[in-house]
Amino acid sequence: MNKSRAIIVVKNPEALRVAASSARISTQPGTAMEIFGRSLGDEKDLRLLDKVLSSGHKSVIEH
């Protein structure tokens, strides 16, 4: 059987903020950069992503 694997080639230190900002883009006013600027990469972002991912919306972390 062919076993696929993924290799991480780049790690973004702002990945949490990017993913949380993308989850907020349709619910908060402002440009993408404004929403990103308000994100702190903190526990609030983790809770949001947990909620979004548990709802089946994985596109916020795919890229």
Residue 34 lies in a domain: yes
Residue 9 lies in a domain: no
pTM: 0.77
Q: How far is CA 21 from CA 1, 7, 60, in A?
A: 39, 25, 9
Residue 3 lies in a domain: no
Residue 1 lies in a domain: no
Q: What is the mean pLDDT of residues 12-17?
A: 93
Q: Which domain holds residue 27?
A: 15-62
pLDDT-derived band at 60 (thresholds 50, 70, 90) equals confident
Give dist(CA 40, CA 43) in Å, integer.
9
Q: What is the mean pLDDT of residues 25-49?
A: 95
Assess whether pLDDT exceeds 90 at residue 62.
Answer: no
Tokens matching residue 23: 């989850």
Other beta carbons within 10 Å of 52? 19
Residue 46 lies in a domain: yes
pLDDT-derived band at 63 (thresholds 50, 70, 90) equals low
Residue 56 lies in a domain: yes
What is the count of structural domains for the chain? Answer: 1
Residue 6 lies in a domain: no
